[in-house]
Structure 1
Amino acid sequence: MTTIDAGKALRYAAFSSDPTGGNPAGLVLDATGMSDAAMLAVAAELGYSETAFLTPGDDPAGSRRAFAVRYFSPQAEVPFCGHATIAAAVALGERTGPGELIFATRAGIVPVDVVATPDGSLRATLTSVEPNLTEVPPADVAEALALLRWNAADLDPTLPPRYAYAGAHHLVLAAATRARLADLDYDFDGLADFMRTRDLTTVQLVWRESPDTFHVRDPFPVGGVVEDPATGAAAAAFGHYLRTLGQVPPRATLTLRQGDDLGRPGTLTVELRDGDPRVRVSGVAVAIPEPDPAAGPGSAR
Structure 2
Amino acid sequence: MTTITDTTDSALSPVPVLRYAAFAQHGAGGNPAGVVLDAAGLPDSDRLSIAAAVGYSETAFLEAGEHPDVYRMRFYSPLAEVAFCGHATVAAAVALAERHGPGQLRFETPAGPVPVRTTAIAGGYTATLTSVPTRTRPAGADELEDALAALRWRAEDLDPRYPAHVAYAGNDHLVLAAADRARLARLDYDYDRLAVLMAQRGWTTVHLVFAHSARVFSARDPFPPGGVVEDPATGAAAAAFGGYLRTLGIVDPPARITVLQGEDMGRPSRLDVDLAAGDDRVRVTGTAVALPPPPPRPAGT
- Is the TM-score greater than 0.5? yes
TM-score using structure 1 length: 0.92
Shift of 1:20: 4.6
Separation in 1, partners of 2:180, 2:278 = 33
- 1:156 aligned residue: 159
For the Cα contact (< 8 Å) 2:173–2:240, is it kept in 1?
A: yes
User: Quick check: 1:19–1:287 contact (8 Å CA) kept in 2?
Assistant: no
2-structure distance, mates of 1:203, 1:6:
30
Structure 1 residue 68 corresponds to structure 2 residue 72: yes
The runs of at least 4 consecutive aligned structure 1 residues that moved more than 4 Å come to 17-20
- 1:4-49 per-residue CA deviation (whole Å, 9 max, x = no partner) reads 7436310000001566511000000000111111000010011100
Partner AA of 1:50 in structure 2: E
Rounded to whole Å, the distance in 2 between the matches of 1:186 and 1:17 is 27
Which residue of structure 2 aligns with residue 56 of structure 1?
64
Task: Tell me if the contact between 1:12 and 1:19 (Cα under 8 Å) persists in the aligned partners.
Answer: no
Deviation sequence 1:128-173 (CA, Å, 0-9, x none): 0011111111111011000000000000000000000000110000
Name the aligned partner's letter for residue 6 of structure 1: L
* Alignment match, 2:142: 139
Q: Which letter does structure 2 place at the counterpart of 1:9? A: V
SS across alignment from 1:181: helix
Counterpart amino acid of 1:45?
A
CA distance in 2, matches of 1:250, 1:123: 22
**Residue in 2 that maps onto 1:44:** 52
Indicate which of 33, 53, 59 corresponds to 1:25: 33
Classify the secondary structure of the residue corresponding to 1:87.
Answer: helix
Amino acid in the other structure paired with 1:121: G
**Cα contact 1:239–1:279 (8 A) shared by 2:** yes
Distance in 2 of aligned mates of 1:250 and 1:58: 35
1:270 has 2:278 as partner: no
How well do the aligned residues superpose, as a CA RMSD in angstroms? 1.3
Query: Are 1:169 and 2:177 an aligned pair?
Result: no
Q: Do the aligned residues in 1 keep the contact of 2:119 with 2:125 (CA within 8 Å)?
A: yes
* Structure-2 separation of matches of 1:223 and 1:217: 15
Equivalent in the alignment of 1:127? 130
Name the structure 2 match of 1:6: 12
Whole-angstrom distance in 2 between the partners of 1:114 and 1:250: 23
Maintained 8 Å contact 2:25/2:268: no
Map 1:213-224; keep pairs closer than 5 Å: 213-224=216-227
Q: 2:106 matched to 1:98?
A: no
2:36 maps to a residue whose letter is V
Distance 1:16 1:165 in 2: 24
Compute the displacement of 1:121 (Å). 1.4
Partners of 2:123 and 2:131 lie apart in 1 by 26
Alignment partner, residue 109 of structure 1: 113
3-state DSSP class of the match of 2:203?
coil
Deviation digits for residues 56-105 of structure 1, max 9, x if unmatched?
0124xxxx500000000000100000000000000000000001000000
Secondary structure in structure 2 of the residue aligned to 1:24: strand
| Alpha-carbon distance in 1 for matches of 2:11, 2:200 | 33
Q: How many residues align?
A: 284
Output one character per residue of 1:249-271: Cα deviation in whole Å (capped at 9) or x when no partner: 12100100000000000100000
Deviation at 1:217, TM superposition (A): 0.5
Determine the C-alpha separation between the residues in 2 that align with 1:136 and 1:212: 23
| Structure 2 gap segments, 5+ residues each | 1-9, 296-301
